[in-house]
Amino acid sequence: MEKKHIHKDIVIIGAGMAGLTAALYAGRMNLDVLVLENGIIGGQIANAIGIENYPGFAKVSGKELIGTLQQQAESFGAVIDEFDSIVKVSLKENPKLVETEEYIYEADALIITSGMNRRKLPLPEESKYAGKGVHYCELCDGHMYQDKVIAVMGGGNAAVDAANFLSKYAKKLYLIHRSEIRADEVSWKRLQDNPKAEVFLQTEVKSLHGEGRLESIEVLDKAAGETRQLPVDGIFVNIGVVPNTELFAEELPLAPSGRIAAGEDCRTSIPGVFAAGDVREKEIRQLTTAAADGTTAALLAEKYLVKLKEGNVVW
């Protein structure tokens, strides 16, 4: 059956900090806005336990911050659809086409805020234990490990935040990282002060073991040159991210990092297409810069739409 075509002033791909901020601003300008999200609303930041570097909040959870922002965007008319996955995009003509499993959306302007996904554990057994002890989303799957032994792999903010979050379920928690910790001092100290937590630095996960599901991991202490088996019920992997740009690779130039090339004005090489947040190539990636990108993209998209109606687009 032929898919129904639906017109929108702006389609935003991704409902993280940048996408929801863009939706808030676009909605306030009385634009018809649709946000498409095929993962968790809020993206990676939704998992953060205590955010202490966002202006205006002494401390706020990622879930609370994103929930408030979502309510703001929706109060100004933005529609958020998190269940209709995108199949294909066509960006070079007007209007832009975004085809999902159910509809084909025609957008006069498009804002890409698709963010990044966590990098998969690079071991041959990963697929065997995926969902059976190997996980990538502590907010989604952490509750499955009440009173269990949990390992977290990684040394950045995402890993340490995940470990702090999972400690409320775990009877024992290991943080394993191949080099030094890169997380902020506040989160790192919170983990160090947790009596449930044990940290292994300069340590690599070499293999996974278990009958049917994960039961233990083999780790290598690089300094000592020794391996050991750690009995664990689950491991949550936080070893970096991959930009979600696969949909756009054939239509937009990508930086060597895989992110979309766009300037501080968030304009891509295609008129009417903007990139904002972590998916955009830039030096600094923080919550505040994602919100700034979303603001910039929405305000300039509105200006683009005015020029488009006047037939006077300058890009």
CA–CA gap between residue 123 and residue 129 (Å, rounded): 10
With a CB cutoff of 8 Å and minimum separation 6, the contacts of 110 are 10, 11, 12, 13, 89, 91, 96, 98, 272, 273, 274
- Active-site residue, 293 included: no
Pairing mode of beta strands 234-237, 149-153? parallel
Residues 128/13, Cβ–Cβ less than 8 Å: no
Buried b (16+ CB within 10 A) or exposed e, 40-50: bbbbbbbbbbb
Please pick, among 32, 81, 84, 141, the residue that the annotation labels catalytic: 141
Any catalytic annotation for residue 140?
Answer: yes
Query: Measured between alpha carbons, how far is 18 from 193 in angstroms, rounded to an integer?
Result: 33
The rounded Cα 59 to chain-centroid distance in angstroms is 21
Contacts of 41 (CB under 8 A, 6+ apart): 15, 20, 66, 70, 80, 82
Token couple for 36 = 């498409």
Catalytic residue among 32, 81, 84, 137: 137
Question: Annotated catalytic residue: which of 140, 161, 184, 266?
Answer: 140
Q: Is 137 a catalytic residue?
A: yes
Which residues carry out catalysis? 137, 140-141
